[in-house]
Amino acid sequence: MAYRNPISHFYVKYEITIMHILDTIVAYKKKEVAKAMERTPIKKLELSPLFHRLCNSYTRRLQQKQSSGVIAEFKRRSPSKSAINLGADLQSVTRGYVQAGADGISILTDEHFFGGSHAYLSQVRHDLPEIPLLRKEFVIDEYQVIEAKALGADLILLICEILTAREVAYLAQLARSLGMEVLLELHSEDQLDKFSEHVSVVGVNNRDLTTFAVDYERSKKLYDQLPDDIPKISESGLSDPNTLVMLYEYGFRGFLIGEQFMKHDDPAKACKEFITAYQRLKL
């Protein structure tokens, strides 16, 4: 299969801000992708047994009556919080998430900044073949999309903050052509024009990337400006089941939750208690 790459270079700033963190990550990813392409060419990725599997649909799960909408994340650490739960067991946590009622699992594959691993995604795919898996990664190149399919992902994340509208459209179209769904993450109103017809679900990030403040009203405002026929999920700052009920009543149908679960000694138990409380309040 031949691929066209219109991805442009990114201008890297070095202010000590959250934007600096993102720019630093993107600069690192460009080098990381170049090395990966030399080590494992696209043709080799396409030979992976997982590359030809049919993907599980997260958006279809959202339509089910008993859906929690929750995508529970496995994340050991982050640049801002450093260690979150370095000792968490991948298999027990992810199996526990499914038993708790999660409709999807997010797996960090970035090793340098988040302590993730490509192997984590493939391991969970083999262990839990029916659950939709989101590859949580800073995707800037078509190679990473193809790689995601080869690793067993059902869903990829595209972050508006680090991509142009043209890049979003191209990468989303490529992902959909490979059978995967696309989660587009928005942070502000000036990113609304980056929406693409190939996007499967939109994630509205509640956190302001310049101040770190969480503002659900801002998320509601973004929600109202998105197409009616696209599922919307809420991301960041989701620590109270009552907040999920409020967002659900406004129209959000899914929720990406990571640190709230992973900061506990038993993330799977925390996830089960959270989803149970949310489902009870939603009745």
Contact (Cβ atoms closer than 8 angstroms) between residue 238 and residue 209: no
Distance CA 263, CA 84 (A): 6
Q: Long-range contacts: 163-168, Cβ < 8 Å, 24+?
A: 163/139, 163/194, 164/8, 164/194, 165/193, 165/194, 165/196, 166/6, 167/6, 167/7, 167/8, 167/140, 168/194, 168/195, 168/196, 168/199
136 among known catalytic residues = yes
Query: In whole angstroms, how far apart are CA 95 and each of 61, 72, 99, 129, 254?
Result: 18, 11, 6, 11, 20
Q: What is the DSSP letter of 107?
A: E
Give the distance, in angstroms, between the CA of residue 234 and the centroid of all CA atoms in the same chain.
11
Question: Does the annotation count 46 as an active-site position?
Answer: no
Around Cβ 11, how many Cβ atoms within 10 Å?
8
| Active-site position among 32, 85, 122, 136 | 136
* Catalytic choice (32, 137, 147, 185): 185
Catalytic-residue membership of 43? no
Query: 29, 75, 149, 272: which one is catalytic?
Result: 75
**Rounded CA gap, 167 and 158, in Å?**
9
Catalytic residue among 32, 73, 181, 259: 73
What's the distance, CA 124 to chain centroid? 15
Q: Could you confirm whether 5 is annotated as catalytic?
A: no
Say which residues have a Cβ less than 8 Å from residue 244's Cβ, sequence separation at least 6. 234, 238, 255, 278, 281, 282
Closest by CA to 102, choosing from 234, 255, 242, 262, is 255
85 is a catalytic site residue: no
Q: Which of 122, 147, 236, 272 is catalytic?
A: 236
> Hey, CA dihedral for 56, 59, 65, 68, is it positive or negative?
positive
Report the run of H or E that residue 237 belongs to, with start and end: none
Annotated active-site residue 185? The verdict is yes
Residue 38 annotated to the active site: no
Residues assigned a catalytic role: 73, 75, 136, 185, 205, 235-236
